[in-house]
Structure 1
Amino acid sequence: MSDVTQQPIRFLLSDMDGTLLLPDHSLSQRTIEAVGALREAGVLFSLATGRPPKAMLQQIQALGVDLPTAAFNGGTIVNPDGSLLVAHYLPATAALTALALFTDQPDIEVWVFSGGDWLLKDPYGPMVPREQHGLGYPPVAVESFEPCLAHIDKIVAASNNTELLIELEARLLAKVEGQAQVSRSQPVYLDVTAMQANKGAALATLAEFLGVSLEHTAAMGDGGNDPAMFHRAGLSIAMGQAEEAVKCQADLVTGANTEDGAAQAIERYILSSV
């Protein structure tokens, strides 16, 4: 953490899973009320997540979000009416490199997100029920990912073997440097997206769209894909349960998501600056 000089915050961009959402993917009433208080105070609010756009709809409605939102770690920015503001696809060469590395690895399930669908080869993998519960819709089983290579939003290596994911993250970064973003959005998910698909770029794009200078923005998150926006925001807040490598890159650390840490941060650090 660094020393913080508090600036009035006009726009807060927040991660979803592990930040706003409880472990069962629900929103607490305190979090809903805290986001409502932001709106009443005139502070703009939106979401940045590794999720696909249609897996954000329930939370967008519950929180009353009426601004563009960033999906796929910023690879896709969607207007409130569902139209695309920004879309960045993973280069086919980087996609093939990632798929080749992940295929046949022990304990690894490979998922591809393309054209609004969640594609996989094994619909009975042990990680599938968790993801289906979180997304709110089922996967589509395919024999090959080749037909969608030109329009891949995200590739995910999913596993409860977190040490293996850390190893694969380092190996893949060396292979696709300058071609793709590679980060663990959660300890059990390793995401591969387009180079331009990162939450820092999404924050800058949304801030410019909204007419807010970056020094008057705040970012809040818990995963390895969140420091990209921490480094661009005027104020950055990490969740209490985040890994130390994430927390040390934030200005402030709030409570865990199981303790309404997002609401705590909004009340203590954002609303107090208005």
Structure 2
Amino acid sequence: MERKYALFFDIDGTLVSFETHEIPPSTILAMTQAKANGHKVFIATGRPPLIITNLGAIEHLIDGYVTTNGALCFVNNEVIACKSIPQDEARLVVEDSIEKNYGLIVIGEKDAAVLDPNGDVDLIFRQHLAVENLNLAKPVEQVLQQRILQLTPFFDKDYERELMARLPGCTSGRWHPAFTDVTALGADKGEGILTMAKHLGLDPEYTMAFGDGGNDSTMIRRAGIGVAMGNAIDELKKEADFVTTTVDEDGIRYALSHFGLI
């Protein structure tokens, strides 16, 4: 009997092109074929649900979501996992960002807050990544009353190492030179896909993960098959079982075809 796979796709740089901000037609067709062949389709993204607004072409194919780098996983309206950052550590980062004057996105269970003293958040998220809905942000003190799922501070790797040493209850996954995503310890994409597999009774050996950034590392390693995009960072390519072509060169279709899923 032909085994069916659970396919986990990162969004930015994997499903959605950084150049066009759209899902290539070949990717839509390949995912439609994979679904028709009995495979399951999941999203595994650093984005919180509020800003997952660029998947309209494939929404009808999606069986579940691993969001905020694994901190919030859900199927339909059922929450499978919700892991929050220790409240004191979330507040520490907010206070540090105000003191040091760097940009910060705070993702609560229901709302988001944006601190953008230098315009970095707007420049990169709205203009470079075409992110929508950040205009719906709420005051940071209001969001801090909720469970905090993710913090996205805008600073370099050197300061990231310095700050993370003060956050024992957190982990960090960087997929862009300008910022990193901070989540609770144990909340990462690798844990997210294993949690989803266990909940749905899927064999982890028959999971396949697709990604391009540093925050995809855990799922590329833990999935049955880890696929790095041709545009992925070099470190991820070294960890992957297979390196496909870029998102703009039909990378998803090429990989699914290579493994005989379409």
TM-score by length of 2: 0.87
Describe the shift of the 1:141–1:218 C-alpha distance in structure 2 as closer, same or farther (beyond 3 A).
closer
Contact 2:51 2:134 in 1 (8 A): no
CA distance in structure 1 between the partners assigned to 2:81 and 2:215 by the alignment: 18
CA distance in 2 between partners of 1:228 and 1:254 (Å): 18
Instruction: Give the Å deviation of 1:258.
Output: 2.3
Aligned with 1:85 (options 76, 80, 86)? 80
Q: Is the 8 A contact 1:123 1:141 kept in 2?
A: no
- For structure 2, the residue ranges without an aligned partner over 5 or more in a row are none
Measure, in 2, the Cα distance between the counterparts of 1:270 and 1:98.
46
- Residue of structure 2 equivalent to 1:161: none
Q: After superposition, where does 1:63-102 map in structure 2 within 5 Å? A: 63-80=59-76, 82-102=77-97
2:13 is matched with 18
For the aligned residue pairs, the C-alpha RMSD in angstroms reads 2.5
Write out per-residue CA displacement over residues 231-262 of structure 1, whole angstroms, 9 at most, x where no aligned residue: 21111011112211121111111112222212
Structure 1, unmatched stretches of 5+, are 1-6, 159-163
- Aligned identity (percent) is 28
Q: In 2, are the aligned partners of 1:95 and 1:149 still within 8 Å (CA)? A: no
Tell me which amino acid in the other structure corresponds to 2:227.
Answer: I
**Is the CA contact 2:10–2:210 (under 8 Å) kept in the aligned structure 1?**
yes
SS of the counterpart of 1:156? strand
Q: 2:181 aligns with which of 177, 191, 197?
A: 191
The equivalent of 1:182 in structure 2 is 172
Deviation at 1:176, TM superposition (A): 2.1
Helix, strand or coil: the match of 2:66? strand
Matched, 1:236 2:226: yes
Q: Specify which structure has the bigger relative contact order, considering alpha-carbon pairs within 8 angstroms and separated by 6 or more residues.
A: 1
8 Å contact kept, 2:111–2:138: no
Native 8 Å contact 1:89 1:150 kept in 2: no
Q: Give the TM-score normalised by the residue count of structure 1.
A: 0.83
Structure 1 counterpart of 2:191, from 191, 201, 216: 201
Secondary structure class of the residue paired with 2:227: strand
- Which of 218, 222, 244 is the aligned partner of 1:254? 244
- The answer to whether the 8 Å contact 1:113/1:155 transfers is yes
Match of 2:164 in 1: 173
Contact 2:197–2:204 (CA under 8 A) maintained in structure 1: yes
Pick aligned residue for 1:116 from 101, 110, 123? 110
Give every structure 1 segment of 4 or more consecutive aligned residues whose post-TM-superposition deviation is greater than 6 Å.
none
Matched residue count? 258
Q: Helix, strand or coil for the counterpart of 2:195? A: helix
Residue deviations 1:60-105 (CA, integer Å, cap 9, x gap) = 663423422111011001222x342221111112223433444444
Classify the secondary structure of the residue corresponding to 1:271.
coil
Tell me: CA distance 1:36–1:123, structure 2 relative to 1, closer, same or farther (3 Å): farther
Distance 1:123 1:225, change over 3 A: same
Alpha-carbon contact 2:6-2:40 (below 8 Å) kept? yes
